[in-house]
A and B are shown apart, each in its own frame.
Chain A
């Protein structure tokens, strides 16, 4: 009974993990490809090939070419990559934390809190003290959105934590309540808004990368990078949490540290992503689902692969948003919802067929 048998399971464990690691490489290459595509495509008739040729031959670009590629499309591509990765990784971490494949940062009100912050800045911007608006300049909305996301997270964390232990269930319920409250206050402010503010709010609410700039990239990029760095280190712990919080502790996971790191990584990543791009839905919930279906639920590879696929999907959605009604732009949240909703339904239906739910 206790004799060692030759390993037959070695292959399944090693292979699945290896597939996940190999997917890192494939998705990174795909992201590079999609990035080139994003630089090449747009309403302005600029040939990426002629620009590449000029760069290789050390010829000067025209000012129009320079502006379109380096001041418009490249920061937009980088911001889209950061935001897509941040939203998808936040979704993967939240699903692991809540042990629920339907969780995403929107569920616990972080996105709603960030949205409320943005709406306060747009509608009540006039009554904010002058020195604050002069310091923040064009980043007033971004700053308030980030502040809103963090304020929500801190309230949630305080409500759900007793005697040093955070209850994930309480956090979920409090998050729903706070999300509803933020929605109600947002509704009141929308009611008060004038026509111009309403247009701004609508565009912001549906999400867009149109405001991408190097300044936003340099603010959001490092912050999202740090959040992602912490998030990808949670893989082992989130796998253990899938067996239940008590069992995770029994097998040696410091569960409270794990929850703290997960909550604050998600708050940082989501807060800044929503702040710079508005409310982009479905990336956080659909992408981890897709990755789980393709390579399995191992969070050690799921988190990174979700980030890469999230970046790819958001950059592609941005390309579509730029060209579909050119020279105007469609808010990117519409594209992600149009793609995401049917994909999500398809996943639900295929899971039902397999008897998983």
Chain B
């Protein structure tokens, strides 16, 4: 379980996050949505232990403020929004660097498995900087997966935090990445991801948290959170939420302002 208790973040005397409180269960995909500037990335950075905050954040009932960097690294991995690699490291080396905290005696099989999982095994020896943006994003996902490969540790869940994991990917890879996350959650791991694509969110998320102006407007299942009124208010535009006739899945249609 990942829990936030009245988390507030203030940057340059401006309140970015105000009393965020929610419980994220392991074994499910939880998506954070909201318009630009709503505080999603700041919340993710607080939960990742990157920035200081007021309130409490617990991962598996341990206060992250009292955990060392290596202890956190053993139970959660973070995919940032943008990643650049200085110096000409190969794809395999980038993943290997991410495993520095691993307790595995040999990390080679993890590198292979993680790259195979994101479909980039053939690029293992290529220089990271020579890959396309989408390929780089998938390598970073492989690095994150390798870091917390087994979704459980002593019966407790490991966690993957993702900040817009599909932003540079075409639609087939978007689905592939979300399927990988689904698989991880199905095996008991926790997944918390920031999403901009509301349709993918509706399709894959088990829980959705909607942020607006630094506050958590609502938290629940997609059908509880994603309705016309709430989304239209939060995003300040007209949004229609419909259901597919076949399997009753939610899909979202933004309405053009001139219609």
Q: How many A-B residue pairs have CB under 8 A?
A: 124
Decide if B10 is an interface residue (CB 8 Å cutoff): no
Counting from the closest, the 8 A-B pairs by CB-CB distance are A252-B73, A252-B101, A99-B86, A297-B87, A252-B70, A10-B108, A250-B78, A9-B124
Chain A, residue nearest B90 (CB): A12
Q: How far is the CB of A91 from chain B (nearest CB, A)?
A: 14
Q: Which residues of chain B come closer than 8 Å to A355, judged between CB atoms?
A: 130
Decide if B227 is an interface residue (CB 8 Å cutoff): no
Chain B 100-130 interface residues, beta-carbon cutoff 8 Å to A: 100-101, 108-109, 111-113, 115-117, 121, 124-125, 129-130
Chain A, residue nearest B145 (CB): A2
Q: How far is the CB of A229 from chain B (nearest CB, A)?
A: 20
> Are A13 and B83 also in contact (CB < 8 A) when A252-B72, A252-B74 are?
no
A residues neighboring B (CB under 8 Å): 1-10, 12-14, 16, 99-101, 163, 236, 239-244, 246-247, 249-255, 292, 296-298, 355-356
Question: What number of B residues sit within 8 Å (CB to CB) of A?
Answer: 48
Q: Which residues of chain A come closer than 8 Å to B99, judged between CB atoms?
A: 251
Contact of B183 among A2, A5, A9, A250 (CB under 8 A): A2
Contact with A along B49-73 (1 / 0, CB 8 A): 1101000000000000000111011
Q: How far is the CB of A170 from chain B (nearest CB, A)?
A: 15
Q: Is B88 a contact of A296 with CB atoms below 8 Å?
A: yes
CA of A241 to CA of B45, assembled, Å: 18
Q: Which residues of chain A come closer than 8 Å to B88, judged between CB atoms?
A: 292, 296-297, 356
Q: Which residues of chain B come closer than 8 Å to A292, judged between CB atoms?
A: 87-88
CA of A163 to CA of B183, assembled, Å: 40
Decide if B21 is an interface residue (CB 8 Å cutoff): no
Q: Is B117 a contact of A251 with CB atoms below 8 Å?
A: no
Q: Which residues of chain A come closer than 8 Å to B84, judged between CB atoms?
A: 244
> Are A4 and B113 also in contact (CB < 8 A) when A12-B92, A253-B100 are?
yes
> Are A251 and B92 also in contact (CB < 8 A) when A8-B124, A242-B86, A356-B129 are?
no
Residue of A7, A250, A255 ringed by the most chain B CB atoms within 10 A:
A250
> Are A247 and B78 also in contact (CB < 8 A) when A7-B108, A7-B112 are?
yes
Q: Which residues of chain B come closer than 8 Å to A13, judged between CB atoms?
A: 92-93, 96, 108, 111
Extra 13 A-B pairs, beta carbons < 8 Å, given A16-B93, A246-B50: A1-B116, A1-B180, A7-B109, A8-B124, A10-B108, A12-B92, A13-B108, A236-B100, A242-B85, A246-B80, A251-B100, A252-B74, A253-B100
Q: Is B85 a contact of A298 with CB atoms below 8 Å?
A: no
Decide if B33 is an interface residue (CB 8 Å cutoff): no
Contact of B112 among A5, A241, A250 (CB under 8 A): A5
Q: How far is the CB of A292 from chain B (nearest CB, A)?
A: 7
A-B pairs with beta carbons under 8 Å apart, 8 shown: A5-B121, A9-B125, A100-B86, A246-B45, A250-B77, A251-B97, A251-B99, A292-B88
Q: Which residues of chain A come closer than 8 Å to B116, judged between CB atoms?
A: 1, 3, 5
Contact of B69 among A12, A254, A296 (CB under 8 A): A254
Q: How far is the CB of B216 from chain A (nearest CB, A)?
A: 23
Q: Which residues of chain B come closer than 8 Å to A356, judged between CB atoms?
A: 88, 129
CA of A3 to CA of B108, assembled, Å: 14
CA of A16 to CA of B78, assembled, Å: 27
Chain B, residue nearest A292 (CB): B87
